[in-house]
Amino acid sequence: MTDTQRPYLFSLFSKVYAHGVRLFLLCCLVCLQAACNKQIIKMAYQSADKLIIKNVDKYFDLSDEQKKQLSYDIKIKMNWHQKQALPLYAQDLKDIQTKIEDGVTQEEVLWLFNKLDAHKYQLLVQALPISAAFLTTVTDKQIERFNEKTEKDFQDTEKTLALTKDKRIKKRINALTDTATHWIGSLTENQQTRIKDYAEHLPDLLSVRHQQDKKQQQIFIQLMRAHPDKTTIENALRTWLEQHYFHKDEQEIEARARICALIEQVLAILTPEQKQHLKAKISDYKSIVDMLMTVS
């Protein structure tokens, strides 16, 4: 399998399992931002398999048997997540609480990104056998449905590409501002200026990646139409995972360095109120992770 085939193969893999997990985590985040109680978040965690399957069903129109098997497999992995992954998240949050006491360096921000990458990688490794087994059961009709749904996703990207450069930069600034505000509260004028400068000078690679994704989609669809066996699919997914996480290209490395520098700059000029907001937010997440580790 060529390098150009791997990214879109992983894209499907993400939609099958990892994207569903992100959907679940997003639900938890919304609950937290809306000041929902922990009971609601607990219920969401206990229903994670249903949230993931709902997302997969959107792309494949699952049969009852596929839903049943996926539910069984995902529940086993959720048990792994609770017993093995959540304690690691808790320790990382505890470490972050310690690091922010005396200011955060760019190296420490990079440490955090590397930690997040490691957690995502392990999550996806756990999903490999589930995803590969599921993909051996998809019918030609389901493959065509996936093709149609991803084409609609591409159309959404093309709507963004149709915006003027200024409007796209504004969207990027708004997204970065929303994220920063969530973590540290209202921004100072200096912090807003730094975010604006970062967004304006970041290379816009959306158009190039969009064309690459469209080409890779068709390569992947042809692969799936050949109905490869579980071992072939799992090996292909694993190969791309390793390529993605351990062999980043120069653009990805540069982009990460830039965002790390931005975060360091913003955190270096926190007001006392912002620092308290950040500490409280991390504490909130830590308490949620601690609670989820006890869910039965």
Query: For residue 233, what are the contacts with CB-CB under 8 A and spacing of at least 6?
Result: 131, 132, 135, 136
Average pLDDT over residues 260-282: 91
**Residues 182-224: pLDDT tens digits?**
999 999 999 999 999 998 887 777 787 788 778 777 877 887 8
Which residue in 279, 12, 251, 243 sits closest to 127, CA to CA?
12
For the stretch 36-45, contacts whose Cβ atoms lie closer than 8 Å and that sit 24 or more positions apart, written own/partner, are 38/287, 38/288, 38/291, 41/288, 41/291, 41/292, 42/291, 42/292, 42/295, 45/292, 45/295
C-alpha 100/C-alpha 84 separation (Å) is 26
CB atoms within 10 A of CB 127: 24
Residue type (1 letter), 253 = I
Both structure tokens of 267: 């955190």
> What is the rounded average pLDDT of the residues 141-164?
90
pLDDT of residue 27: 47
Give the tokens for residue 47.
């229903």
Q: How confident is the model at residue 88 (pLDDT cuts 50, 70, 90)?
A: very high
Per-residue 3-state assignment (H helix, E strand, C coil) for 110-145 = HHHHHHHHHHHHHHHHHHHHHHHHHHCCCCHHHHHH
Burial pattern 250-261, b for ≥16 Cβ within 10 A else e, equals eeeeeebeeebe
**What is d(CA 151, CA 87) in angstroms, rounded to the nearest whole number?**
39
User: What would the two tokens of residue 116 be?
Assistant: 């997040």
Is the predicted pLDDT of residue 22 greater than 60, yes or no? no
pLDDT recorded at residue 51: 83
Checking phi first, is residue 35 left (phi over 0); if not, alpha (psi -120 to 50) or beta? left
Higher pLDDT, 19 or 56: 56
Residue 36: its pLDDT value, please?
54
Q: Mean pLDDT throughout 161-167?
A: 89
Residue 145 binned pLDDT confidence (cut-offs 50, 70, 90): very high
Q: Are 74 and 52 in contact (CB under 8 A)?
A: yes
pTM: predicted TM-score of the whole model, two decimal places = 0.81
d(CA 226, CA 232): 11
Token pair of 127, please?
């999903």
